């Protein structure tokens, strides 16, 4: 059943999967709830009252960052333009369109809580542009995750005002005003508070971490299913998957992973093979413990990401009750940095486990006596030898990029931002790690398929239970062939499904 269109507001709770689906579907028809419209209008009225009282309001009556003690420019378009212009720096490649959409959705959900003082008309205009305009050109590098994600959000804001850049259908940067005209769209007009509220939040790291979690969770479930297929194909004893065994330890994730592996392992009536050892190697026997720990880590990260996704990360925060402008640090992204680092750890270890399972399948002393490297004719052909090298290289890449970002603070901004989260770096890295994990799982899937073909053809002993229905049909590797495209196709399929 198709998911319902996402709504934004204090009465709408977004999940990582909601963000993932909407980020991949520009026609997602995102709407504001009635509660969001009321809250937005109320916070704007409160902001006007606070300003009329003569109270200091950061970024509206003051300069920015360490220039706080200097008076602001006249609170109009000039102040907004200056803010967005000086923040539109950054470096690196352009962020993918789905990452940019995830970022903007995350920011609009925070604004829709009604504690930022932005105009209702502004949020409506931004939603319309999100749905109909080309994606803004946003550089991947430039945020330290302290005062929110200033640089990536500034690039998006300038694009929506028609003064920045967008990406055409080929991923080429084009002038935003031209792109909007070609789409018959009007740019949004941002006043000083609108502009600061849009850029002063954790949306880049939140949106990117949400994508990393949603995609990483799909790969985790695929790793469990592949492990179950390996159990079934090799005829491993199901004792290591016993519910009683795992409930005795008490970790929820471990019990859930064991159940998921057991479901695939018992898909067909395949008896344990008598020549299997009493205890399998750890990559099979301890798979529920390893993948279960990843499940628990994902749940920890989910709690942080989704709390941030549905909360208010801004400065100042408008309290409509007083009314008051509360100056603080809700835009500091430490929670997101910790969550993304946790995802990174889990994703990396899933890859380590899967690569070891590939080795089990390719080794005659562990694969039930099938040919080495699952070669159809050992010697003249080499089977999965090259594919295993790819899996090994990818594990090295995972490990090299499994460094903590959340503790790598570097003071900046004239020491105003003297402790920063590096949450954007952590989130980007976790998201990129899913791109490394997926092809390792693809190699594992190809290896299982090849062992099935070898047994079907009588070139390896043992039964050949049918592949699971989620595994696409794969031709046997009778003569060596390039496997790059097949690996990439499976990796894409399992990381980002075709349907929403």
Q: Which residues have a catalytic role annotated?
A: 58
Compute the distance between CA of residue 402 and CA of residue 329 in angstroms, rounded to an integer.
28
Q: What angle do CA 172, 174, 178 make, to 5 degrees?
A: 145
Strands (E), 87-130: 91-94
Strands (E), 282-415: 317-319, 324-326
Query: With 0-12 CB in 10 A as exposed, 13-18 as middle and 19+ as buried, what is 278?
Result: exposed
Strands (E), 247-286: none
What does the DSSP assignment read for 296-316? Answer: HHHHHHHHHHHHHHTS---SS
Instruction: For residue 369, count other CB atoms closer than 10 A to its CB.
Output: 11
In 3D, which of 457, 216, 477 has the Cα closest to residue 348?
Answer: 216
- Give me the long-range contacts of 405-411 (CB less than 8 A, separation at least 24): 405/337, 405/340, 405/341, 405/429, 406/334, 406/337, 406/338, 406/340, 406/341, 410/144
Q: Enter the tokens of residue 287.
A: 């798979």
Are 65 and 416 in contact by the 8 Å Cβ rule? The answer is yes
Compute the distance between CA of residue 158 and CA of residue 175 in angstroms, rounded to an integer.
11
Are 178 and 116 in contact by the 8 Å Cβ rule? The answer is no
Enclosing H/E stretch for 362: helix 334-362
Compute the distance between CA of residue 217 and CA of residue 159 in angstroms, rounded to an integer.
32
In 3D, which of 241, 190, 212, 229 has the Cα closest to residue 83?
Answer: 190
Instruction: For residue 257, count other CB atoms closer than 10 A to its CB.
Output: 28
Enclosing H/E stretch for 10: none
């Amino acid at each position: 059943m198709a998911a319902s269109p996402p709504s934004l507001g204090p009465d709408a709770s977004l999940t990582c999967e909601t963000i993932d689906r909407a980020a991949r579907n520009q026609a997602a028809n995102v709407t504001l709830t009635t509660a969001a419209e009321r809250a937005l209008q109320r916070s704007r009225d409160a902001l006007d009252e606070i300003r009329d009282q003569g109270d200091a309001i950061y970024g509206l009556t003051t300069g920015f960052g360490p220039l706080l003690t200097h008076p602001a420019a006249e609170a109009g378009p000039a102040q907004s333009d200056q803010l967005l212009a000086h923040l539109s720096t950054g470096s690196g490649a352009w962020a993918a369109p789905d990452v940019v959409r995830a970022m903007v959705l995350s920011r609009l959900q925070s604004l829709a809580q009604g504690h930022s003082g932005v105009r209702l008309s502004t949020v409506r205009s931004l939603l319309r542009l999100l749905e109909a305009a080309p994606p803004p050109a946003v550089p991947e590098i430039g945020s330290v995750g302290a005062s929110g994600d200033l640089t990536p959000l500034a690039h998006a804001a300038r694009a929506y005002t028609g003064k920045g850049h967008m990406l055409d259908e080929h991923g080429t940067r084009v002038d935003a005003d031209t792109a909007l005209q070609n789409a018959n769209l009007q740019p949004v007009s941002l006043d000083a508070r609108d502009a600061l509220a849009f850029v002063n939040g954790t949306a880049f790291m939140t949106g990117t971490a949400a994508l990393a979690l949603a995609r990483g969770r799909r790969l985790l479930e695929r790793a469990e299913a592949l492990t179950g297929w390996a159990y079934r194909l090799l005829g491993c004893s199901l004792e290591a998957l016993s519910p009683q065994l795992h409930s005795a330890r008490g970790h929820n994730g471990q019990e859930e992973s064991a159940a998921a592996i057991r479901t695939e392992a018992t898909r067909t009536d395949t008896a344990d093979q008598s020549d299997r050892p009493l205890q399998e190697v750890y990559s099979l026997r301890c798979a529920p413990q390893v993948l279960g720990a990843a499940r628990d880590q994902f749940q920890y990260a989910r709690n942080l990401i989704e709390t941030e996704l549905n909360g208010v990360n801004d400065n100042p925060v408008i309290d409509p009750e007083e009314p008051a402008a509360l100056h603080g640090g809700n835009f500091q992204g430490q929670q997101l940095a910790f969550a993304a680092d946790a995802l990174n750890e889990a994703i990396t270890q899933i890859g380590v486990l899967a690569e070891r399972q590939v080795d089990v399948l390719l080794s005659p002393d562990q694969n039930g006596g099938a040919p080495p490297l699952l070669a159809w004719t050992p010697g003249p052909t080499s089977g999965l030898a090259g594919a295993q090298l790819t899996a090994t290289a990818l594990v090295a890449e995972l490990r090299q990029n499994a460094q903590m970002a959340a503790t790598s603070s570097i003071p900046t901004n004239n020491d105003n931002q003297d402790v920063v989260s590096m949450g954007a770096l952590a989130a980007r890295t976790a998201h990129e790690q899913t791109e490394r994990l997926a092809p390792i799982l693809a190699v594992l899937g190809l290896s299982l398929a090849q062992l099935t073909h070898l047994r079907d053809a009588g070139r390896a002993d043992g039964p050949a239970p049918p592949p699971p229905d989620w595994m696409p049909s794969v031709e046997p590797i009778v003569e060596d062939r390039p496997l790059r495209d097949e690996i990439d196709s499976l990796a894409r399929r399992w990381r980002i499904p075709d349907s929403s």
